[in-house]
């Protein structure tokens, strides 16, 4: 039964795609009064064009000619946050004080700290930093010096010492700071700075510190630098260390990392089984450990993998939650220890706050409870999972309980008083103005900032209402994702359906409409002009070579520019490629999505290594979790969960696949897979 579901047919889906994508999203009908007059709107557009050409004087002049002050304010904000800006201190200070709720406040304050006049009085410097704590080493240095001048010597020197230890200086700044304040430093301060630089991988700056520390600290520093740089004399450097330094946490970490990079994983793990009690930078240790856990599983050393995952008490909550899940999963699936597994999953649930992680912990706690025979406890945890209906594991919980649709939470309500207070805010007016004139990237920054700073569910809903008024789905999605972090789920805003009148014919059958929209949402947030760092383009983030391949197959003219300029062209090629992958993998969404993200060559290797999830003896869910790349595991789960949301949004009928068709059915037991 599971395999038939995995092979969901993609034939006959073209008409359904065209109709579904043309279905509008219902929304309240109202008249939206433009923020700008027609003439001001044109001036604003011209000003932003000048900014794109780095013609700041022209941009200021054009925006200043508008009767509405908002375009001028945004141009000023862009100028003051520009990395190459030359704004003066008082200009920056005036803007920061006048606009405390604007985005990029940290950038504004960091830029200001670079421009504090030399002749500004210590009292004025101290007053500024009382209201605006330092953002940079430059700012902290000015505050410390000001306090010393004002007679607060102990506090000022403490700030200067902290700045020396943690500050990120250029070579010139390093030298100037050291010679100006060297009288207050002791050897311990220099040793601490050396440690910070080494942990941050700043080997050149660390070399400059070697002559300022004790001989033994210098030896240790050289050994760590040699390990980082894979220097040919690294063995000699380690052999020369005093015995008491061989257990230094930084040295142990770098040795483990060196061995991993040299392909000596077993020797690297020897250093990771027993972590130092005085663990420094636990997040860096966890990066090494989680890599070794998966390598160890691949090698079949299950007990070692569990030991690495279970030794997690020294980590922060984010790393500890991931470690708890891995320990629980290994205990349940590979060691047949459901009681131990349950403890790990429950602890994970106690320390996470994001819906995706909460649903994951709850679902697996239910699986462990089922394995112990406690059906009542399993039901309790599945109900907790169901409360997160937009997540992969929340949806798995729904399937396990026999639900045939998702139960979304009621969207937050607001009244006219809420609307009035919200719309009167300058930052809201600016966000609307940016939407009016088509500045989608800037609008996204302001809308996301509004969502990040919303303090009530009603405010989050009002941000969603604002973004829905403009034809930029990427703005709606980005803002709604930030609202989820505050526990507010906004289905209409977070899962828009912007494609309209998408009709074409070719020899390939169209994939399920919900899947196409889910892939576009994950790939580009439905931004037709998105370009990734790797060069993927448009709604479905096609690499030019892939697009060229599909254009040839479809007997279309290939035009690289159209991947960004024509959303329908991008959809046509991208959907055909997705259909090709679905056909290649017999309709199995998991394999097709893995290939879309990581490439068919990797999927071929994973099928050989982890088994084929289309067969009866391999669990589809476990197969996903076994994949070595976090990006691909996350990608598959996010697209699948979004597919289910779009199935509900499009309306489930006789042609809609049953919920859970992309996953293991509830009546198929989750067995420990053989690899």
Please say if 523 is a catalytic residue.
Answer: yes
Domain that holds residue 434: 416-494
- 396 within domain boundaries: no
Q: Are residues 175 and 47 in the same domain?
A: yes
Report CA 475 to chain centroid distance, whole Å.
16
Mean pLDDT of 407-411: 91
135, 154, 187 - which closes a domain: 187
- 534 within domain boundaries: yes
Catalytic residue among 109, 288, 523, 641: 523
- 215 within domain boundaries: no
Q: What is the CATH number of the domain that holds 589?
A: 1.10.530.10
C-alpha to C-alpha distance for 457 and 411, rounded to whole angstroms: 9
- 170 within domain boundaries: yes
Q: Are residues 183 and 43 in the same domain?
A: yes
Average pLDDT, the chain: 90
Q: Are residues 467 and 594 in the same domain?
A: no
Q: Are residues 484 and 524 in the same domain?
A: no
Indicate the range of 327-336, 468-477, 582-591 predicted with least confidence. Answer: 582-591
Q: Are residues 639 and 592 in the same domain?
A: yes
- 298 within domain boundaries: no
Q: Are residues 169 and 124 in the same domain?
A: yes
Q: Are residues 460 and 528 in the same domain?
A: no
Report yes or no on whether pTM surpasses 0.85. Answer: yes
**pLDDT tens per residue across span 263-313:** 999 999 999 998 888 889 999 999 999 999 999 999 999 999 999 999 988
Tokens 């520390």, residue? 213
In this prediction, residue 654 has a pLDDT band, given cuts at 50, 70 and 90, of: low
187, 221, 252 - which closes a domain: 187
Question: What's the confidence (pLDDT) of residue 663?
Answer: 38
Mean pLDDT of 480-497: 95
Q: Are residues 102 and 65 in the same domain?
A: yes
Q: Are residues 181 and 48 in the same domain?
A: yes
Looking at the chain, the number of H-run helices and the number of E-run strands are: 38, 0
Whether residue 12 is predicted with pLDDT greater than 80 in this model: the reply is no
Q: Are residues 472 and 607 in the same domain?
A: no
Q: Are residues 486 and 517 in the same domain?
A: no
Q: Are residues 644 and 525 in the same domain?
A: yes
**pLDDT tens per residue across span 595-614:** 999 999 999 999 999 999 99
What are the φ and ψ backbone dihedral angles of 316, each rounded to 5 degrees? -70, 175
**pLDDT tens per residue across span 308-334:** 999 988 888 999 999 999 999 999 999
* CA nearest neighbour of 284 among 212, 223, 224, 344: 224
Whether residue 26 is predicted with pLDDT greater than 80 in this model: the reply is no
- 503 within domain boundaries: no
Contacts with 53 (C-beta within 8 Å, 6 or more apart), sequence order:
none
Question: What's the confidence (pLDDT) of residue 655?
Answer: 61
Distances (CA, A) of 356 to 360, 392, 553: 6, 7, 39
- 247 within domain boundaries: no
Contacts 24+ apart (CB under 8 A), 169-176: 169/137, 169/205, 171/205, 171/208, 173/137, 173/138, 174/205, 174/208
Whether residue 656 is predicted with pLDDT greater than 90 in this model: the reply is no
C-alpha to C-alpha distance for 542 and 577, rounded to whole angstroms: 9
Name the domain count of the chain. 3
- 153 within domain boundaries: yes
């Amino acid at each position: 039964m599971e395999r038939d579901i995995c092979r969901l047919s993609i034939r006959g889906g073209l008409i359904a795609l065209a109709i579904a994508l043309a279905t509008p999203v219902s929304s309240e009908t109202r008249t939206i009064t433009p923020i700008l007059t027609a003439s001001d709107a044109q001036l604003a557009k011209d000003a932003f064009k000048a900014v794109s050409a780095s013609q700041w004087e022209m941009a200021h002049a054009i925006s200043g000619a508008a009767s509405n002050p908002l375009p001028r304010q945004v141009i000023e904000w862009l100028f003051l946050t520009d990395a190459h800006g030359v704004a003066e201190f008082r200009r920056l200070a005036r803007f920061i004080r006048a606009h405390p709720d604007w985005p990029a406040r940290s950038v504004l304050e960091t830029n200001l700290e670079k421009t504090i006049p030399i002749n500004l009085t210590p009292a004025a410097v101290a007053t500024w930093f009382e209201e605006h704590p330092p953002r940079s080493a430059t700012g902290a240095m000015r505050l410390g010096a000001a306090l010393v001048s004002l007679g607060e010597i102990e506090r000022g020197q403490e700030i200067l010492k902290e700045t020396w230890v943690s500050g990120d200086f250029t070579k010139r700044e390093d030298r100037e700071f050291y010679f100006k304040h060297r009288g207050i430093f002791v050897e311990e301060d220099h040793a601490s700075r050396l440690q910070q630089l080494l942990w941050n991988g700043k080997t050149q700056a660390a070399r400059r510190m070697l002559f300022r520390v004790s001989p033994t600290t210098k030896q240790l520093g050289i050994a760590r630098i040699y390990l980082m740089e894979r220097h040919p004399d690294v063995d000699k450097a380690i052999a020369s260390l005093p015995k008491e330094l061989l257990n230094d946490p930084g040295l142990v970490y770098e040795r483990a990392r060196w061995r991993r990079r040299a392909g000596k994983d077993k020797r690297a793990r020897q250093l990771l089984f027993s972590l130092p009690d005085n663990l420094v930078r636990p997040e860096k240790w966890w990066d090494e450990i989680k890599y070794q856990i998966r390598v160890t599983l691949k090698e079949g050393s299950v007990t070692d993998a569990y030991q690495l995952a279970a030794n997690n008490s020294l980590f922060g909550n984010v790393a500890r939650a991931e470690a708890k899940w891995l320990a629980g999963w290994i205990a349940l699936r590979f060691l047949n220890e459901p009681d131990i597994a349950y403890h790990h999953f429950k602890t994970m649930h106690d320390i996470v706050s994001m819906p995706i992680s909460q649903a994951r912990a709850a679902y697996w706690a239910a699986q462990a409870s089922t394995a112990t025979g406690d059906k009542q406890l399993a039901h309790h945890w599945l109900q907790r999972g169901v409360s997160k209906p937009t997540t992969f594991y929340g949806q798995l919980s729904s399937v396990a309980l026999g639900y045939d649709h998702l139960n979304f939470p009621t969207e937050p309500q607001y009244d006219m008083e809420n609307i009035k207070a919200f719309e009167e805010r300058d930052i809201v007016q600016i966000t609307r103005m940016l939407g009016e004139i088509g500045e989608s990237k800037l609008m996204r920054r302001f809308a996301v900032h509004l969502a990040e700073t919303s303090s009530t569910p009603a405010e989050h809903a009002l941000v969603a209402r604002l973004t829905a008024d403009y034809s930029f789905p990427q703005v709606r999605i980005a803002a709604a994702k930030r609202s989820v972090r505050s526990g507010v789920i906004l289905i209409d805003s977070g899962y828009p359906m912007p494609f309209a009148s998408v009709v074409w014919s070719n020899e390939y059958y169209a994939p399920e409409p919900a899947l196409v929209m889910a892939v576009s949402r994950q790939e580009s947030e439905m931004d037709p002009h998105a370009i990734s760092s790797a060069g993927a383009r448009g709604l479905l983030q096609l690499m030019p070579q892939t697009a060229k391949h599909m254009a040839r197959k479809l007997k279309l003219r290939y035009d690289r520019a159209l991947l960004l300029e024509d959303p329908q062209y991008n959809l046509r090629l991208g959907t055909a490629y997705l259909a090709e992958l679905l056909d290649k993998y017999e309709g199995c969404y998991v394999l097709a999505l893995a290939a879309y993200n990581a490439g068919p060559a990797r999927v071929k290797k994973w099928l050989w290594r982890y088994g084929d999830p289309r067969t009866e003896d391999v669990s589809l869910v476990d197969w996903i979790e076994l994949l070595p790349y976090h990006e691909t595991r996350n990608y598959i789960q996010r697209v699948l969960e979004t597919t289910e949301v779009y199935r509900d949004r499009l309306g489930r009928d006789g042609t809609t696949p049953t919920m859970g068709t992309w996953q293991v059915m509830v009546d198929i037991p989750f067995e420990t897979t053989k690899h």
